Amino acid sequence: MIRDKNIEWKRESLFIHAEQFVAVTATAAHQTVGAGAPPLAEVSTFGYAGLLMESADDEGGYAMMVPKHWDPAEPLGFTVWWTSGSATTDDSVTWLALAKFFAEGATLSAPAALDTVIVADDVTGAYDIQKSSRGIKNANWLTHAQLDAGAFMAVNVEMAAFDVGLDEAKLFLGLEIDYMPRRCEPDYSS
C-alpha cells in the first residue's frame, strides 16, 4: 500500500493575509481590526492594505482549524511578508512569529515562540515586497491522531524591533506557513 512516507512530497504553503489578523494590544486583550494598534492601512497609495506597525511589540493575532492534510510529524515554516516606506537599506526590522497548537479539549493559552526564530531583516528599498527568514516549529507539534480528530492553531505576528530613525511606514502584509502534506490514509504503526 502506498503511504506518505513512500512519496517525496513537495512542501506546500498557506498564505494568511494581514487583513485576517486582529489587532492585539500590549496587554494581549483582543480588539477588532481598526480599533487600536496596529490598524489596517493602505500600502502607500496602491489600493491594498497591510497592518501598520508603528511601535515595537505591535502585533496581530489569528486563529484557525489546522488543516487535516498537514503532517504533524514534519516541521512547519513561518515567513513574514512585509514592506516599508524606507529607502534606507541600513534600516532593519525584526519580526516575531508565535504559534500554539491545541488538540480538542485542550485549554487555550497564548501562542509561544517558534523553535527557530526569525532573524532581523534589512530594508531593500521603499515599498519593496520583502519576506523574512524562515522561522521553524519543530516536528511533532501534534500527533496524527490529534490532528485527525480536529485541532486548533493560534498564531501571532509581532514587529519585535526596528532601527531607531526608521520613521516611515512598516507594514505587515501576511504570513506564509509552509508544511509537508499528508495525503494518504494514515499508518500510525511507524
Closest CA to 175 of 12, 18, 25: 18
Range of the domain at 83: 4-179
Asked if residue 185 is part of any domain, the answer here is no
Q: How far apart are CA 21 and CA 61, in angstroms?
A: 5
Tens of pLDDT along 108-165?
A: 999 999 999 999 999 999 999 999 999 999 999 999 999 999 999 999 999 999 998 8
pLDDT class of 34 with cuts at 50, 70, 90: very low
Confirm whether 72 is domain-assigned: yes
Spatial separation of the C-alpha atoms in residues 28 and 74, rounded to whole Å? 30
For residue 58, give the CATH number of its domain: 2.60.120.260
Structural domains of the chain, count:
1
DSSP string of 141-184? SS-HHHHHH-EEEEEEEEEEEE-TT--S-EEEEEEEEEE-B--S
Whether 70 is covered by a domain: the verdict is yes
Is 54 a member of any domain?
yes
Q: Cα separation of 33 and 36, whole Å?
A: 8
Report if residue 12 sits inside a domain: yes
Taking alpha carbons only, the member of 70, 61, 76, 62 closest to residue 150 is 70
- The residue with greater pLDDT, 76 or 27, is 76
- 60: in domain: yes
- 3-class state of residue 99 by DSSP: strand
Task: Name the one residue in this structure whose C-alpha cell is 489569528.
Answer: 62
Q: Does 66 reside within a domain?
A: yes
Q: Name the strand (E) or helix (H) holding 1.
A: none
- Asked if residue 187 belongs to a domain, the reply is no
Q: What single-letter amino acid sits at 168?
A: E
30 confidence band (pLDDT: 50, 70, 90) = very low
Write the burial class of residue 165 (CB in 10 Å: 0-12 exposed, 13-18 middle, 19+ buried). exposed
pLDDT tens track for 66-102: 999 999 999 999 999 999 999 999 899 999 999 999 9
Residue with cell 494568511: 16
